[in-house]
Structure 1
Amino acid sequence: MSSALHSDAALGYQIRSFARAIGQIVLQRNAATGALLFLAVLAASPRLACGLLIGTLTGNVISVILDDADAPAFRDDLYGFNGALAALAAFAFIGDTSQAAAVAIVAAMGATFLAHKLMRVLARHALPTFSSPAIIVTWCWLPLFADRGDTGAIPPVAAGIVAMLQAAFAGLAPITFATGALAGGLIALGLFASRPSQAGWALAGSALGATLHGLGGASDVVVLSGACGFNAALAALACAPLGRRYALAGIVAAVLIERLMDCLGIAALTAPFVLASWAMIVVRRRMSGASGASKQGESHVVHPHA
């Protein structure tokens, strides 16, 4: 009986760890957040949901090889989410399912290995890795295999207050390569489950990011579809612990970087959020001059105790 209970407890822990790894996609080590993110992707595309599971599982398996069980990155479930993002990108941009699955597994392995290396390098500068490993790996294979994207279709959207509210929610969906206000709403609910303020910052970032993109020349159709909010939303989540002004500056910086990358013809993915967040961490550290400020960059986790 005791061995059965121990086995059930171990299984339960593994499931929670798996869900927390998915939650780290939106910077939350929270099992409920991860479960709702999975539902968000499933609601948008069962195909993408398979990619999410493949990537997270691959990342978690590789992490057992790379690190000790008591290592901080392992305990905080920081390996699986980059594998998840790398696999999601494969399923989003490769039409053939068999080819997408093969690329997803290799990309998830590569992103996890790279995360292990980058964590050590960036730790010297007290900077979190965020999604940089998944971005780098995706940039490597994208010119070779990409033929289309599930996230590329933008349906016509009528203007109005309701449409703007829907766009703020829909702006969270592309974080997981999904689309639509339903997927975005489930992601917002997942953030709310971790901490209500996280959902508030994400939605505010999405709305402000879409507005800035609109002022920068993006069409109303693109803005109202929610395609412009995800980098700003992530920047808001990452920079909010630094202070309100840094969160707002991070949102603006993410939008400017995204606009520049679009002009240069570079697939931005979540690189604008990563670069903007790193910049805000460095600026905060230099502005404060306090050793404690650097600790903000030591962990990817915004809400580590949920």
Structure 2
Amino acid sequence: MTFIQTILRGIGQVMFQNNIYSGLLFLIGIFYNSWLLGLAALFGTIISTVSAHVFKYPKEAIKNDLYGFNGTLTGIAVFCFFEVSVVTVFALFLGAILSTVIMAYLQKIILPFTAPFVMATWLTIYFLIVIFNFPLLAPLEQIESSLNFLISSGNSFGQVMFQENSITGLFFFIGILLNNKLMAVYAAYAAVLGPIVGWLVSESTSTINAGLMGYNAILCAIALVGTGWKDFLWITSAIILSTLLNIGMAMTGLITLTAPFVLATWGILMVKKV
């Protein structure tokens, strides 16, 4: 039972919710959209958590599953971008382990956030494409339609874990609300402001509606949450910065993942120290 709770905490920690019920709601939301990605999330979390035990990392950190959440995202990413095969299953396994090792190293020098996931997944994608010549899955054709901020906000929550589904996003939002109401309020604010920034810089309507302008913003808002007006300004700055970074990095052809969130949050934290 303790191990199950640890795994659920790990899934919850993707959005900084150290709560088994939040993790359960997140997992249900993923399975609602895709049973395959639900299994990938589960396996990625388990592999990362077990790796932390094997490498004898601090027990308290393992209990709160600060190692598992990067594995959650890595697991989903592999099957989001590649077809299921023996090679990609093995890549998921190695990528989840690698994310745990990177997490253990980075946390000694900086707040890692989801940087271990980003690094491990970029390496995994590189090796699958370059070494094994695996093609990326063709993205679903996005139909240009009228801008819908309600849909884009719901999808923004879902896209934190690669789920373009507003109902899944609702599960994610409730999971945050269950654990921390202030985080939920700021996350909702980010889910609206991120798409607005994308719209203001003329990002395509289909991209905004898909939630791709809001998920990094949501993570920034949760990571920097605070009760003062200064916190509101820092969060707003991070939301705008992460959205612009997301657009700029995507223009280079890079799969951005949550790198814009990590870079924007690191930047804001450094400025705050000064």
Shift of 1:116: 0.8
Mapping of 1:215-234 within 5 angstroms? Answer: 215-234=200-219
Other structure's SS at 1:205 match: helix
Q: Which amino acid aligns with 2:263?
A: L
Shift of 1:74: 2.4
Mapping of 1:102-141 within 5 angstroms? Answer: 102-122=90-110, 128-141=111-124
Shift of 1:28: 1.1
Cα–Cα, structure 1 residues 156 and 197, in superposed 2: closer, same or farther, change >3 Å?
Answer: farther
Aligned to 1:153: 140
Q: Is the 2:99–2:117 contact (alpha carbons within 8 Å) kept by the matching residues of 1?
A: yes
Deviations 1:225-270 (A, max 9, x none): 2222101111111122371111101101101211210122221110
Q: Is the 1:91–1:97 contact (alpha carbons within 8 Å) kept by the matching residues of 2?
A: no
Q: Which amino acid aligns with 1:194?
A: N
Aligned to 1:36: 25
Q: Is the 1:55–1:105 contact (alpha carbons within 8 Å) kept by the matching residues of 2?
A: yes
Aligned to 2:185: 200
Other structure's SS at 1:28 match: coil
CA distance in structure 2 between the partners assigned to 1:137 and 1:246 by the alignment: 29
CA distance in structure 1 between the partners assigned to 2:95 and 2:11 by the alignment: 16
Structure 1, unpaired ranges of 5+: 1-10, 123-127, 287-306
Please point out which of 183, 190, 212 is paired with 2:168.
183
> Mean alpha-carbon deviation: is it higher for 108-117 or for 224-233?
224-233
Aligned to 2:272: 284
Deviations 1:19-72 (A, max 9, x none): 11110001111111100110111011101011001100001101112235544x
Aligned to 2:235: 247
> Mean alpha-carbon deviation: is it higher for 110-119 or for 241-250?
241-250
Deviations 1:124-154 (A, max 9, x none): xxxx11110110111112133253348x325
Q: Which amino acid aligns with 2:82?
A: I
Deviations 1:79-130 (A, max 9, x none): 00111111111111111343332111110011111111111122xxxxx111
Mapping of 1:78-93 within 5 angstroms? Answer: 78-93=66-81
Q: Which has the higher contact order (CA 8 A, sep 6+)?
A: 1
Shift of 1:158: 4.6
CA distance in structure 2 between the partners assigned to 1:168 and 1:228 by the alignment: 9
Aligned to 1:302: none
- Aligned pair 1:237/2:222, yes or no? yes
Other structure's SS at 1:55 match: helix
Other structure's SS at 1:183 match: helix
**Could you say which structure has the larger radius of gyration?**
1
Shift of 1:15: 1.7
Cα–Cα, structure 1 residues 195 and 109, in superposed 2: closer, same or farther, change >3 Å?
Answer: same
Cα–Cα, structure 1 residues 99 and 258, in superposed 2: closer, same or farther, change >3 Å?
Answer: same
Aligned to 2:149: 164
CA distance in structure 2 between the partners assigned to 1:200 and 1:159 by the alignment: 26
CA distance in structure 2 between the partners assigned to 1:142 and 1:240 by the alignment: 32
CA distance in structure 1 between the partners assigned to 2:196 and 2:137 by the alignment: 24
TM-score (norm 2): 0.91
CA distance in structure 2 between the partners assigned to 1:214 and 1:65 by the alignment: 47
Shift of 1:204: 1.3
Structure 2, unpaired ranges of 5+: 130-134
Q: Which amino acid aligns with 1:153?
A: L
Q: Which amino acid aligns with 2:177?
A: F
Aligned length: 266
> Mean alpha-carbon deviation: is it higher for 216-225 or for 25-34?
216-225
